[in-house]
Chains A and B, each alone.
Chain A
Amino acid sequence: MSAPLLEIENVSRAFGGVRALDGVSLRVNQGEILCIIGPNGAGKTTLFNIISGVMRPSSGDVRFQGESIVRWPPQRIAAAGIARTYQIARPFVRLCVRDNVAVGALVRERTLERARCAAQEILESVGLAALADRPAGTLTLTQRKRLEVARALALRPKLLLLDEVMAGLTPTEIDAMGDFIEQLQERGIAAIGGVEHVMRVVMRISHRIVVLDFGKKIADGTPAEIAADPRVGEAYFGTSLDGAGASSPTKGQS
């Protein structure tokens, strides 16, 4: 078995007296799709902030391809191949859509011209090519979500952190985003998705699911295992998942 792409070891982070993350450990393998589920405030965004270098953990270690990255600045982590999106889309509103994406492409491309070409290709793959010259501030919420993903892809990441990438989308759009995430592994990109709701898609696309609750990891397993875990049902769904809702993903995965 090859070494995991990302290893998070015993990571904690406190804000004042609140333990946003409490001794969380997890692994992501090459090309794997891992979904982190948990209610609002469970610590998903804090974890993404720590992995992407925006925030330092109070204790614990983060290793990417075997190297500790916990003290690296964000730009070095980005260049090494970890890209992220933000829960609330944060486009560079006064820059055009293409330039928003070109910023990330500059990590790989020498000239601005080539970065813009690369950006255009990525925009075509996410269906924003027609809007390339528009200021990003004029995009709709759905388009902004796609722009977040496009910008992250411009780094040509090995690992993509998708923070609440489904939030605010319609059911059709959620399915489309699910398909998109599934296709990432064909391109050799692993993904960690942070998701509060939309269990249906999570069960369909995840190889593995991690459940966070009040900063603690309470479960880690395949969708079938998670659906069958009584602790998850109680902590997350407020009730056990023995009912009909869990039966179809269980069948699909086993």
Chain B
Amino acid sequence: MRGRALIAFIIVVTILALVPPFLNGYARSLLYITVLYVALAYAWNVISGYAGYLSFGQVTFFGLGAYTTAISVVRGHLPWWEGALLGGLISAALAVPLGYLMLRLRGAFFALGMLGLAQTLQVVANSWQLTGGGAGLFLPPGSNALPVYYWTLVIGLLTFAATLFIDRSAFGLRLQALREDEQVASTLGVHVTTTKVWAFVISAIVPGLLGGGYAWYLTYVEPVSAFATRFDLQAVAMTILGGIGTVWGPLIGGVLMSQVSEMLAAQYPQAYLMSFGGLVVVLLVFLPRGIAPAVSAALARRRARGAQGHQ
């Protein structure tokens, strides 16, 4: 089974790598947005799923990456991907002090604190000359979709690999322990603050790297779309639907949500948001922990029955 899953994974990645040049513009952008959201969901899943700190402001780093790239290209004449890398670096560097500060907050306070952080940066971008104020910054137009897609795919795969590592590592176990009970984790020898700040850095560097690609893809940045809460809400909904704190949750939830929402939007443009919202609610009522845990429980039951059958 493990071998088969690996083969399936390699086939999917090969398709994702080889097919896009032959797609039309619509299909290509749909694929790009899907991969982008899945990657953002994986990043969100580290701090919010494994460490249990629900964040509504990881888009802070996405916007930061987008603006860093735009400024690097427009004012510094760097290639876009250098700007995007710089955005990732700045996000990681900023995430360390921010993590120490924000991760003192818990539960709703952390979630709202992060939301406030994103709003604050949005206001800064809106009123600063360097960032072009409310009009934003325009990047040189061109056919940027394909390079940005590959950039996003590679970072998405790296984030997936990081999740696989976290799920099987001592670091991941410490994260889950502090998610369950920080005080108990600390009296069992877990360095709680360091561990969660690391998780926060991982969840910041990924949107920091992806934001630059997004700016280059759209060929402009402006405050509202760069720091849009929508990005976090999507990541939250996808991850929770697929299974929060699991390896496959963001992928299952992400692919399902973006495809179904696209299908509904095409078929029932008037009732799309309503029917989509209803679908998410129904799924979560019946599968409160998400799809991935339900599937793995069903598989475990089948395996148990199979084992009994053999005896």
Contacts and interface: CB of A to CB of B under 8 A. Distances in A.
Interface of A: 52-54, 73-75, 77-79, 83-84, 86, 90, 92-95, 99, 102-104, 106-107, 111-112, 115, 151-152, 154-155
Interface in B174-213: 174, 176-177, 180-181, 183-192
B310 interface: no
Contacts of B185: 92, 103
Contacts of A83: 187-188
24 contacts: A53-B186, A54-B187, A75-B186, A75-B190, A78-B187, A83-B187, A90-B181, A92-B185, A95-B176, A95-B177, A95-B180, A99-B173, A103-B173, A103-B185, A103-B189, A104-B188, A104-B189, A106-B170, A106-B190, A107-B188, A107-B189, A112-B168, A112-B173, A155-B188
Q: Report, nearest first, the 10 A-B pairs whose CB atoms are least far apart.
A: A92-B180, A107-B189, A74-B186, A78-B189, A104-B188, A112-B170, A103-B177, A74-B187, A75-B191, A103-B188
B307 to A, nearest CB: 14
Nearest to A74: B186
B274 to A, nearest CB: 34
B169 interface: yes
Given A52-B187, A111-B170, 9 more contacts: A54-B183, A83-B187, A90-B184, A92-B180, A95-B173, A95-B176, A106-B189, A107-B189, A115-B170
Given A52-B187, A54-B186, A78-B188, A92 B181 contact: yes
Contacts of A52: 187
A93 B173 contact: no
Nearest to A148: B184
Contacts of A154: 188
B184 A86 contact: yes
Nearest to B194: A75
A198 to B, nearest CB: 24
Contacts of A86: 184
Most chain B CB atoms below 10 A, which of A54, A90, A92, A111: A92
Contacts of A103: 173-174, 177, 185, 188-190
A93 B180 contact: yes
A92 B187 contact: no
B257 to A, nearest CB: 24
A78 to B, nearest CB: 4
A74 B190 CA distance: 9
A42 to B, nearest CB: 21
Contact of B184 (A73, A92, A112, A115): A92
Contacts of B188: 78, 83, 103-104, 107, 151-152, 154-155
A75 B192 contact: yes
A86 B174 CA distance: 19
A53 to B, nearest CB: 7
Given A111-B170, A112-B168, A112-B170, A92 B186 contact: no
Most chain B CB atoms below 10 A, which of A84, A111, A112: A112
Contacts of A104: 188-189
B184 A79 contact: no
B299 to A, nearest CB: 15
A106 B173 contact: yes
Nearest to B172: A112
